[in-house]
Amino acid sequence: MITFTIDGYEVQAEAGQNVLEVALDKGFDIPHLCYHEALKPYGACRLCVAEVTSGKRTRLTTSCNYPVIEGISVQTSTEKVIRARKMVIELLLARCPDAPIVKDLAREYSVGRPRFTADNDDCILCGLCERVCREVVGPDAITFLGRGSSRKVGPPLEINPKTCIACGACVYICPTDCIKLKENEKERTIVRWGRTLPMKTCVVCGRSFAPWFQLEYFRKITEGIPKDFWDKCLDCR
């Protein structure tokens, strides 16, 4: 076990963990938008900044991709941390002024009207959708496109992603709710990617419950599961 301090409190963690996950597990409040425990740390949103002292050196760094080290001291709410965090929130507010989670952060940190030109976008480029598709689900149907101010997330070449199985993981994990899902008994559509797939009906109750492509994909990548498992809805299983 590794011992270090967060805001003066001694905590213990396992080697390989990062500062943010330990802090959250111990009840410390550090805002974050691009971090998820199921994914590799990415450090895109910069909201989880903290002051870390290691030896005689103190620096401002993102806590999500800073590894726990014996004896370090982490401060989560110093004047420097709050100032940096407010700047990040101001930039996010200029980019996504209508995103509820961004507006909530602005209120919490008393960030008013941003000094920067408003983009009126709805995506904060956190990369959660791209990473969950690639790291957890597997189809790798979306990616980052472009660079600089023109950077965005979408399917390669910005055409209908043929590898998308419409599982909805990107919809679920998006912090700004900018990826929409529409569904009826016949089909499901991931609106942002323009992907529409037919729904499969349960062989027992006849209710549609998931896209056919999604179930076939899971059938191929899983082992030791009865063949008819993916033909039944959750209730009939």
| The pTM of the whole model exceeds 0.85 | yes
Whole-angstrom distance, CA of residue 130 vs CA of residue 116: 27
User: Residue 147: what pLDDT?
Assistant: 84
User: Residue 100: what pLDDT?
Assistant: 95
Return the bridge partners of 211, or none: 199
Whole-angstrom distance, CA of residue 130 vs CA of residue 192: 13
User: Residue 209: what pLDDT?
Assistant: 94
User: Residue 161: what pLDDT?
Assistant: 84
User: Residue 34: what pLDDT?
Assistant: 96
Whole-angstrom distance, CA of residue 112 vs CA of residue 115: 9
Whole-angstrom distance, CA of residue 74 vs CA of residue 88: 20
Which residues are CB-contacts of 109 (< 8 A; sequence separation ≥ 6)? 82, 85, 86, 89
Give the containing element (helix H, strand E) for 121.
none
User: Residue 119: what pLDDT?
Assistant: 85
User: Residue 70: what pLDDT?
Assistant: 96
Q: Encode pLDDT of 67-102 as tens digits.
A: 999 999 999 999 999 999 999 999 999 999 999 999
Parse the chain into domains and list their residue ranges: 2-108, 128-231
User: What is the architecture of the domain spanning 2-108?
Assistant: Roll (3.10)
User: Residue 158: what pLDDT?
Assistant: 77
Q: Which residues of the chain have pLDDT under 70?
A: none
User: Residue 157: what pLDDT?
Assistant: 80
What does the angle CA 19 – CA 25 – CA 27 come to, to the nearest 5 degrees? 100
User: Residue 187: what pLDDT?
Assistant: 96
Whole-angstrom distance, CA of residue 210 vs CA of residue 187: 9
